[in-house]
Amino acid sequence: MKKTYSLLIACLIGLTCLFINPVNSNAQSVNINFSVFHNELARYGTWMHNPRFGRVWIYNEPGFRPYYSNGYWDYTNYGWTWVSGYEWGWAAFHYGRWEYDPYYGWMWIPGYEWAPAWVSWSESGDYYGWAPLGHGVNINISIGSIPHDRWVFCSRPFMNSRRFRDHCAPFSNNRVIVRNTTIINNVYRDNRRHYYSGPGRRDVERYARGPIMERRIDEDRRFERRDWDRDERREYNSRRERDRFERRTDERDNSEFFERGRNERRRGDDEFQRGRSERSRSMRGERERRYSNHERKEERRGRGRGNDD
């Protein structure tokens, strides 16, 4: 009997503790710290100390530009979300900020709040624009708060295209475009976090002349460091590989087509040369026959005059 009472009391205490301290299943409790970033990104770039920002990470790729190179925009339940083709994209495009150094180029400053992309959005004429938010820059900014050379301006109908880079304005035109640019202040509020969600989906659909599907990011999975971004990256890279294969196939077909054309032209040229040679031989033979007939006639005339004498 005592054992039964003891077991009952233990169960009651356990239930009481459960209600007093409920288990926090919110994915925001996932621990992201500097050690995670350092260990995961070290093999892809260089960590160094910056006098102004502390520890920063530099990706060593010529021509690299954040939120432009090797990726695309996809519309999700959190707004426009950057899907990266880089293995390390889950970290540097959804946490922290990017700054540009004239000597080292783009460098990433670690941060510990997740966002679909830490960028500012704008619109100017026929373009949508975006630029990385720098260190200490919040979402309440003006267009002059970001240097003009940090912006990417893409033709509105192609903003959600995976080949949007083919439709971007030259960076040398940024200084002129920025003069007539307006910040897009669509803000997504998630508990204590606030970030720009980009242009409205309906607005982009109007320019793209087609529906844009909203992709769902599960509340739990977005804070799991690789899962969602890895799945998107795998799909993006496989699609990019298919595009490369199709381009190679098109190039091969085109080369075969042009090669066939060249061969046909060569055969035509050969036939033309043979025909011209045959005509030349025929004309030469005709001239020889005429000359021979002329000589025979002259010979007959000479004989006739000799007989008359």
> What confidence score (pLDDT) does residue 216 get?
87
> What confidence score (pLDDT) does residue 203 get?
93
Give the span between the Cα atoms of 80 and 117, in whole angstroms: 8
Asked if 172 and 269 sit in the same domain, the reply is: no
> What confidence score (pLDDT) does residue 7 get?
46
The torsion defined by the Cα of 214, 208, 131 and 34, in degrees rounded to 10, comes to 20
Asked if 166 and 115 sit in the same domain, the reply is: yes
165 domain residue, yes or no: yes
215 domain residue, yes or no: yes
Backbone angles phi, psi at 82, to 5 degrees: -80, 125
Average pLDDT over residues 106-112: 96
160 domain residue, yes or no: yes
Count of the separate structural domains present in the chain: 2
Model pLDDT for residues 221-262, shown as the tens digit of each residue: 544 445 445 555 555 555 556 555 555 555 555 566 556 666
Asked if 138 and 272 sit in the same domain, the reply is: no
Q: How far is CA 3 from CA 6, 13, 15, 65, 296, in A?
A: 5, 15, 18, 69, 146
Q: How far is CA 218 from CA 27, 78, 154, 224, 227, in A?
A: 10, 10, 29, 10, 11
Give the pLDDT band of residue 20 (cuts 50, 70, 90): very low
Asked if 82 and 169 sit in the same domain, the reply is: yes
Record the tokens describing residue 150, joined without a space: 């940090």
- Judging by DSSP bridges, how do beta strands 127-132 and 119-124 pair with one another? antiparallel
Write the DSSP assignment of 92-156 as a string of letters: HTTSSEEEEETTTEEEEE------S--EEEEEETTEEEEEE--TT--SS--GGGS-GGG-EEEEG
Asked if 88 and 174 sit in the same domain, the reply is: yes
Burial 20-50 (b: 16+ CB within 10 A, else e): eeeeeeeebeeebeeebbeebbeebbeeeee
16 domain residue, yes or no: no
Model pLDDT for residues 73-82, shown as the tens digit of each residue: 999 988 999 9
> What confidence score (pLDDT) does residue 191 get?
66
Full-model pTM: 0.65
Give the span between the Cα atoms of 126 and 167, in whole angstroms: 11
- Is 60 exceeded by the pLDDT of residue 41? yes
Asked if 194 and 120 sit in the same domain, the reply is: yes
Asked if 179 and 267 sit in the same domain, the reply is: no
1 domain residue, yes or no: no
- Is 60 exceeded by the pLDDT of residue 4? no
5 domain residue, yes or no: no
Asked if 258 and 111 sit in the same domain, the reply is: no
Asked if 57 and 152 sit in the same domain, the reply is: yes
Give the pLDDT band of residue 289 (cuts 50, 70, 90): confident
Asked if 163 and 274 sit in the same domain, the reply is: no
Asked if 220 and 251 sit in the same domain, the reply is: no
Asked if 221 and 232 sit in the same domain, the reply is: no
% of the chain beyond a pLDDT of 70: 59
> What confidence score (pLDDT) does residue 68 get?
98
* Domain that includes residue 231, residue range: 226-290
147 domain residue, yes or no: yes
Model pLDDT for residues 159-203, shown as the tens digit of each residue: 999 999 999 999 999 999 999 999 888 777 766 667 778 899 999
Among 225, 244, 260, the domain-final residue is 225
177 domain residue, yes or no: yes
